[in-house]
Amino acid sequence: MRSGERLGSFPWRTLTKRIVGASLLFFALTSAAQAHHGKDFLLVESYYVPHPGDLYFVSSMGLARQDGSNSFEGEPSLLLGVIPRAAFELHGHIAKEGDDSFRYEATAPAIHVQLTSPEAAFPVRVGLSVEYEIASSHSEEGDRLEGRLVLEGSGKPKLAFNLIGERGEGGETTFGYAAGYRLEASERFACGAEAQGQFENSAAHELVFGVYSEPSGRCTLKGGVGAGLGPESPDSSVHAGLVWRF
């Protein structure tokens, strides 16, 4: 999309059909092995981290429409397994609001740690993710620190919950959540629902229905459509993601 192009006429239905169609096509034509990279959802951080030495390219994007205006957010990243039960991630934030140009907003290093052992018999696995977002000169926001406590059930279907705390430069600490439900239809295809929001009055909340495909041991495709709950929430949204293991 060219800088300054209007988003008001964005083909939401066409994009949604293509996301779902691509996932179904890969599901039908290829075989897959279960990947463990912690990026199983669109909005929710999951428990697993890459094995030491495994390197992934992770890309996510979201389009939202609210009060007649559209916004875009993109997040390309590299995810590396460092030691057993710990990984390092470096990602960037790209944004566009309405008719404004695309802008690079921040670079964020992050760590992901499994606090409980994957072999533990306890039915809930616990992890922790911490990132520090370094604002670019083009950003209107300052630096930001975010932490996520990750809780995930050890059984199937997959249930995951994130308790999120964040603090912006010069601001107050706020708390929020993200929750996901993922039902495996086969080794290669799953569907589910996700939600995210903040624990504040009149805060924005979003509910997303997603499809997830692992066409090969190297690739994960994700797509979903959502709607907001509450006056400050987006009217509609489209999400997509790609995870590729080198």
Lowest mean pLDDT among 128-132, 137-141, 186-190, 219-223: 137-141
pLDDT of residue 26: 43
pLDDT of residue 18: 58
Pairing of strands 69-83, 86-97: antiparallel
pLDDT of residue 145: 97
pLDDT of residue 234: 87
Question: What is the percent of the chain where pLDDT is above 70?
Answer: 86
CA angle (25, 26, 27) in 5-degree steps: 90
pLDDT tens digit sequence for 19-77: 555 544 544 443 334 557 889 999 999 999 999 999 999 999 999 998 888 999 999 99
pLDDT of residue 6: 43
pLDDT of residue 30: 38
Q: What is the mean pLDDT of residues 189-202?
A: 92
pLDDT of residue 66: 87
pLDDT of residue 167: 96
pLDDT of residue 17: 56
What is the rounded CA–CA span in Å between residue 215 and residue 210?
Answer: 16
Q: For all residues of the chain together, what is the average pLDDT?
A: 87
Domain covering 12-245 in this structure, CATH number:
2.40.160.40
